[in-house]
Amino acid sequence: MSIASTNRMTPYLFLAPAGLVLAFALFYPICYMIYASFLDWNPSQRIGEAEFVGLRNYFKLFGDDAFRESMGVTLKFAAVVVTIEMFLGVGLALLLDRNIRGMSVLRTLFILPMMIAPIVVGLMWRYMYHPTVGIFNKTLKSWGFDGIPWLSDGSWAFASVVIADVWQWTPFIFILSLAALQSLPASAIEASKIDGASDWQQIIYIKLPLMLPVLIVTLLLRLIDSFKVLEVILVMTNGGPGLSTEILSLRINRTASEFRELGEAAAMSNLLLIVLLILTFTMFIYNKAQDARAARLRAVEEEA
């Protein structure tokens, strides 16, 4: 081998160990899961003993009303929480992007919910939603109102898990939006003041358009995350009442542990993975497009 080609190989040589670990840690479980989704597999069997059934698990899923409902709940949940969180997070960032005393403390307080373990968040909210001793119903009753069936009525239960998720994850959008806001070119905002823009006009015509690239990435990240939420809902409602809060990851969990259908659970996981992959690819392509655009513009500029 010539020296030149050895030199070219060197970086790959150094990357190889990490690459191997990655391949094993990432691809082995995925391949295992894809293979498992073609089996009729009971947890009491070893994988070799399970019967190969081809695409039967998938066909069964598409015919399964409960799965379809669960998919619907997941999509509805993701759409609702991400929309509310985007509005609140960006709104808070716009509101708190100023230099007044104690603001840094306030900002830190705002991101606290994000740091609490999801199980704890679930437990916390379950106690607060408790029909008799929970703080919400106690307060309502002390004001002379009827208590609300927070977790025992289907529509209220959905709203309740949405509220808990919004409480926990709005800070994520808040900090990313705030970072985006604070890195905006100060002089462009000053120029808009001179040009006569009111505070609202500055937000609508200057700040939001300039934040847009960050907001899109934030939205996608949050969307991906909201498809995978499990613990909070598991602790609060365990998918009930009925199937009203049974999001996909909960259904997968139940299919595997309660119904003892490992193959079917694997098939569901694969479908969820495909949905997430589509979202991730969207993000990837968006980033690529942004980079390409920036590179093209730079090239034009340097030529001039």
Partner 1 sequence: MPDIRLQNLRKDYGAVNVIENLNLDMADGEFTVLVGPSGCGKSTTLRMIAGLESVTGGQIMIGDRDVSRLEPKERDLAMVFQDYALYPHMNVAKNMSFALRLARMNKADIETRVKEVAATLDLTAYLDRKPAELSGGQRQRVAMGRALVRDAGTFLFDEPLSNLDAKLRGQMRAELALMSQRIKKNMIYVTHDQVEAMTLGDKIVVMKFGEIMQAGTPEELYRNPSNKFVAGFIGSPTMNFLTAELVEEGGTLSAKGDGFAIPLPDARKSSLQVHKDRQIHLGIRPSSFAEGPGGLKMPVILSEYIGAQSVLISELGGERVAIEVNTVVPIRAGEAREFTVQGDEVHLFDPKTEAAL
List interacting residues with partner 1 (CB under 8 A).
185, 187-188, 190-198, 201, 205-206, 209-210, 212, 294, 297-298, 300-301, 304
Inter-residue contact 148 to 140 (CB < 8 Å):
yes
Angle at 294 between CA 290 and CA 299, to 5 degrees: 150
Nearest to residue 151, comparing CAs of 126, 132, 118, 133? 126
- Residue 7's H or E segment, with its range, is helix 3-22
- Smallest separation, CB 217 to partner 1 (Å): 17
**Is 115 or 304 the residue whose CB approaches partner 1 more closely?**
304
**Is 51 or 199 the residue whose CB approaches partner 1 more closely?**
199
- Smallest separation, CB 174 to partner 1 (Å): 23
- Smallest separation, CB 59 to partner 1 (Å): 49
The conformation of residue 79, written as its DSSP 8-state character, comes to: H
Percent of the chain as helix, strand, coil, to the nearest 5: 75, 0, 20
**Is 83 or 290 the residue whose CB approaches partner 1 more closely?**
290
Burial of 201 (0-12, 13-18, 19+ CB in 10 A): middle
**Is 49 or 199 the residue whose CB approaches partner 1 more closely?**
199
For the record, the structure tokens of 36 come out as 């498992």
In one-letter notation, the amino acid at residue 231 is E
**Is 192 or 238 the residue whose CB approaches partner 1 more closely?**
192
Omega before 149 cis (within 30°)? no
**Is 208 or 276 the residue whose CB approaches partner 1 more closely?**
208
- Smallest separation, CB 204 to partner 1 (Å): 11
- Smallest separation, CB 286 to partner 1 (Å): 16
DSSP 103-168: HHHHHHHHTHHHHS-HHHHHHHHHHHT-TTTSHHHHHHHHTTPPP--TTTSHHHHHHHHHHHHHHH
In one-letter notation, the amino acid at residue 186 is A
- Smallest separation, CB 102 to partner 1 (Å): 16
**Is 9 or 212 the residue whose CB approaches partner 1 more closely?**
212
- Smallest separation, CB 290 to partner 1 (Å): 12
- Smallest separation, CB 209 to partner 1 (Å): 5
How many other C-beta atoms are found inside a 10 Å radius of the C-beta of residue 32?
12
**Is 123 or 210 the residue whose CB approaches partner 1 more closely?**
210
d(CA 130, CA 228): 25
